Structure 1
């Protein structure tokens, strides 16, 4: 069952997932509630804001070998009404401001799936420093 898998994934989050979760938790990003490693039907997504129907997925090197699976999964989620944002782990670790900017932009947009990767530039700022 995916619930047990989701629990295991929450315990073993990657460095990139931990870093992004730091900014998404407790309604810090645009006042939206995000869940991490959340089950949506047969899939477990990295992060989801159900009220805005936005899924945020982080991709590491293993995703080079599973691009067809990822595309099918994205199409499935989009068919369910979700917009899907994908970022490389490296983007989260080295350019969190752009990742957050793209997420805020997607949360504000009621339209179809937002652009898949962040643009360069200043992003959302938080009051606390990120974990080291």
Structure 2
């Protein structure tokens, strides 16, 4: 199927752009969230091993070893929820703009990494 500027209306192009942008932002967030989770887990494991080795550590580090991974998990879950809602909003905008459900379903299968 060949797509050019006249294939869709201006409203449909805007809805497609909104959806593409939301998917790109969600993908970027998930990559960064994964890196933050790995860093946070690594930090917690290092702190735990230092505590088990009975190193002279400040009391705040004991609290941080427990609380920070929980806070990180909450923030990552909330962020994932926000970005998922943005993608759903883009999908709804495409349907509202008059694009068919089949087009939207096919568009969702397109890999985010290949969006321009």
TM-score range, shorter chain: under 0.3
TM-score normalised by the chain length of structure 2:
0.22
Mark the structure with the bigger radius of gyration.
Answer: 2
TM-score (norm. length: structure 1): 0.21
Write 1 or 2 for the structure with the bigger share of helix: 2
More strand by share: 1
